[in-house]
Amino acid sequence: METVGELAPSLRILLGPGPSAVHPRVLKALSTPLVGHLDPEFLRIMEETKDLLRAVFQTKNALTFPISGTGSAGMEACFVNLLEPGDEAVIGVNGVFGTRMKDVVERCGATPVVMEAEWGRVFTPDQVREALSRCRRPKLVALVHAETSTGAWQPLDEMASIIHNAGALFMVDAVTSLGGCPVQIDAWGIDACYSGTQKCLSCPPGLSPVTFNQSALDVLRKRKSKVQSWYLDVSMIEKYWGEERVYHHTAPISMNYALREALRLVQEEGLTARFHRHQRNHEALAAGLAAMGMALAAQEGHRLWTLNSVTIPANADDAAVRRQLLEEYNIEIGAGLGPLRGKVWRIGLMGESSTRSNVLLVLSALEDILRKQGHRCTPGAGVSASQQVYSAG
C-alpha cells in the first residue's frame, strides 16, 4: 500500500445547501482534549448545551438535546418514537425532504397520508384541514419548515390549532432554518422538532438537535410496541441526557464540544441580530440576481433567507457554471434536485457563510462566468444592486 499523504483539503467558500463555514472557535473546540462521556465535566457541558439549544429553539421543553447523528437521524428519531405500526401520519410533500419523511413513515409500518404541493410552493391551512379529513385517526402531521431542495419557507404559526383539534401531534423539520430564521417551538405549538448542526448553526455535520414537548412524551410513553430503532429510542436516550445518567451509547464528545461553542456564538450575536443578518444578505443576493436577469424559484413571499433557489438562465450550462465556480473561484453552490435538476442552482447563505463579502463575491463570479457563456447583463449590475440594499440598511 502506498503511503497516504497529509490531509490538506482545499479552503472552499461554502455557499451550497450545507455544510456551511465553521468559525475558528468551533474548530478549536473540536481539538479540545477528550473526557469520558460520563465524566462530571462532560455532564456539565451536556447541561449547558441543552440550555443553549432551548434558547435557539425558543422553547422550555425539558427534553431538548442533540441526537448522535446528522439531521436525517433526527428525522428518523422523531418518527420512530412517535409512530407505531398502523398509525396514520399526514406528510407534507413539496420537495425532497417531505418525500424522505414519507419513506421513513412507511418504514415505521405506519400509513402516510400524503399532502402534495408543487415543488417550491408552501401549504395552506386549508390543505392541512383537507388532508386531516382523509384520516380515520391521525397520529401526527409533519411539515418541512425550510425545504432545502426548493428554497420554500413554510408558514407554521396557524397550523398547530388545526392539527391539535384533530387529535394529532405537530412535527417540524427545521434543519435549514434553526439559527437562521425564527423557529418558535412553544409559541407555534410544535410538539416535536429536529434540525442539523451543519446549516445555520455552522457546526460540522454529525449531530441533530431535537426537542419534544410533554404531549409528544406522553405519546411515546403510552406506546404499545417497542421503538423500531434501539439506537434512536428516546425513552432510553433521555435517561442519559436527563437526571439518571444511564449509559446508552458513547456520545460523540468532540462534536458536542463543537456544538456548544457554535451555540455560544449564536448567543453572543443574539437571535434578533442573527435573523436580521440572514435576511439582509438574502435580500442583497436576490436584488443582485434580479439585476443580472435571474429570479428566485420558490413561491414569492415564502422564500428562505438561508437557501436561495435560483432559476438557471436559458443559455447557461448548469454543470459548467458550478464547475467553474469551484475551480476558478473556490466557491461551492448546489445543483437542483428531483424535478428541479438542471433548472435551479441552490445558493446557501447560512450561519458563518451568510456574509456581505460572500454575497458580493458570488454575484461577481456568476456575472463573469455567465457573460462568457453569452448571458447578457450590464457589467457590475448585480454587485451594484446588492450594494444598494446594504446601503439602505
Under a CB-based contact definition with an 8 Å cutoff, are residues 310 and 347 in contact? yes
Q: What pLDDT does 393 receive?
A: 75
Phi, psi at 40, each rounded to 5°: -55, -35
Under a CB-based contact definition with an 8 Å cutoff, are residues 373 and 386 in contact? no
Query: Averaged over 154-181, what is the pLDDT?
Result: 98
Query: Averaged over 163-186, what is the pLDDT?
Result: 98
Query: Averaged over 265-276, what is the pLDDT?
Result: 98
Q: With CA atoms as reference, report the closest residue to 362 among 392, 391, 393, 334.
A: 334
Give the end-to-end CA distance of the chain in Å, rounded to a whole number. Answer: 58
So what CATH class is 24-267? alpha beta
Under a CB-based contact definition with an 8 Å cutoff, are residues 199 and 306 in contact? yes
Q: What pLDDT does 2 receive?
A: 86
For the chain, the average pLDDT equals 97
Report CA Rg, the chain.
21
Q: What is the pLDDT of residues 113-125, one digit of tens each?
A: 999 999 999 999 9
Going by pLDDT thresholds of 50, 70 and 90, the confidence category of residue 367 is very high
Q: What pLDDT does 256 receive?
A: 98
Under a CB-based contact definition with an 8 Å cutoff, are residues 201 and 259 in contact? yes
Going by pLDDT thresholds of 50, 70 and 90, the confidence category of residue 173 is very high
How far is residue 285's CA from residue 310's CA, in Å, rounded to a whole number?
Answer: 10
Q: What pLDDT does 374 receive?
A: 86
Sequence ranges of the domains in the chain: 24-267, 270-391
Q: What pLDDT does 70 receive?
A: 97
Positions of E strands within the chain: 13-14, 63-68, 88-93, 111-116, 138-144, 146-147, 152-153, 169-173, 192-194, 207-212, 307-311, 331-332, 334-335, 344-348
Query: Averaged over 60-65, what is the pLDDT?
Result: 98
Going by pLDDT thresholds of 50, 70 and 90, the confidence category of residue 134 is very high
* Neighbouring C-alpha atoms within 13 Å toward the C-beta of 364: 11
Amino acid identity, position 285: L
Going by pLDDT thresholds of 50, 70 and 90, the confidence category of residue 1 is confident
Cα three-residue angle 100-104-106, rounded to 5 degrees: 115
For residue 206, count other CB atoms closer than 10 A to its CB: 20
For residue 299, count other CB atoms closer than 10 A to its CB: 18
Chain centroid to Cα 162, Å, comes to: 24
CATH 3.90.1150.10 fits 270-391, yes or no: yes
For residue 54, count other CB atoms closer than 10 A to its CB: 19
Amino acid identity, position 18: G
* pTM score of the predicted model: 0.97
How far is residue 37's CA from residue 19's CA, in Å, rounded to a whole number?
Answer: 26
At residue 318, does pLDDT exceed 80?
A: yes
Amino acid identity, position 56: V
Q: What pLDDT does 301 receive?
A: 97
Q: What pLDDT does 298 receive?
A: 98
Q: With CA atoms as reference, report the closest residue to 89 among 106, 71, 65, 113.
A: 113
How far is residue 15's CA from residue 198's CA, in Å, rounded to a whole number?
Answer: 12
